[in-house]
């Protein structure tokens, strides 16, 4: 039986605004910064215990996954740091739910479980099935991203930088 957290929790940013600019400037040094804003995107979080007879030492592993509530994309993650409650200031910068394509919490849980099961099968090459137990769920887990606005050769760009991993992509021109 898993422990479900109902509170709006947030992953702490690992990248500052300065770090985010450094990441994108490593690829395009001529970028001219215009603005930056830390935005919070809605996810659900899941912690599983994965037991497999072929695991060295036989100890179960902790596996973490998050599911983007807007796209439904499930992702395995490193163990979460201490989660904090979303502050009123942070809530003002939360991405609004468009209301037409949101992935439900139940569906998020199914997608996270399926991802963990698939990863376990691949790791153990279908030898023996793993036992996956849901340990903790966070229905409302907010992930930070930097939304950078820049100019490059006279063109306006909007770049989203993951404030946890430093990954980025252009979201608008």
Per-residue pLDDT of 101-151, as tens digits, reads: 689 999 999 999 999 999 888 776 656 678 899 999 999 999 999 999 999
Q: Which of the four pLDDT bands, split at 50, 70 and 90, describes residue 33?
A: very high
CB 27 within 8 A of CB 2: no
Backbone angles phi, psi at 89, to 5 degrees: -65, -40
CA diameter of the chain? 59
Residues 6+ apart with CB under 8 A from 12: 81, 82, 83, 84, 144
pLDDT of residue 6: 62
Mean pLDDT of the chain: 89
pLDDT of residue 2: 67
Using CB atoms within 10 A of its CB, is residue 90 exposed (0-12), middle (13-18) or buried (19+)?
middle
The Cα–Cα gap between 22 and 19 comes to: 5
Render pLDDT for 79-106 as a digit per residue (tens, 0 to 9): 998 899 988 889 899 987 777 668 999 9
pLDDT of residue 116: 94
pLDDT at 66 over 90: yes
Q: Which of the four pLDDT bands, split at 50, 70 and 90, describes residue 15?
A: very high
pLDDT of residue 110: 97
């Amino acid at each position: 039986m898993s422990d479900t957290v109902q509170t709006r929790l947030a992953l702490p940013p690992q990248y500052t605004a300065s770090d985010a600019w450094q990441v994108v400037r490593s690829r395009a040094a001529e970028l001219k910064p215009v603005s930056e804003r830390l935005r919070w995107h809605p996810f659900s979080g899941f912690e599983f215990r994965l037991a497999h007879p072929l695991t060295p030492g036989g100890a179960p592993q902790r596996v973490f996954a998050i599911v983007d509530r807007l796209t439904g994309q499930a992702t395995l993650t490193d163990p979460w740091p201490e989660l904090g409650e979303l502050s009123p200031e942070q809530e003002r910068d939360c991405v609004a739910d468009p209301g037409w394509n949101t992935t439900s919490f139940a569906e998020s849980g199914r997608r996270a479980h399926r991802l963990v099961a698939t990863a376990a099968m691949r790791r153990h090459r279908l030898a023996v099935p793993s036992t996956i137990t849901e340990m903790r769920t966070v229905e409302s887990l907010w992930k930070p991203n930097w939304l950078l606005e820049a100019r490059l050769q006279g063109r306006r760009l909007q770049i989203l930088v993951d404030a946890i991993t430093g990954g980025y992509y252009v979201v608008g021109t």
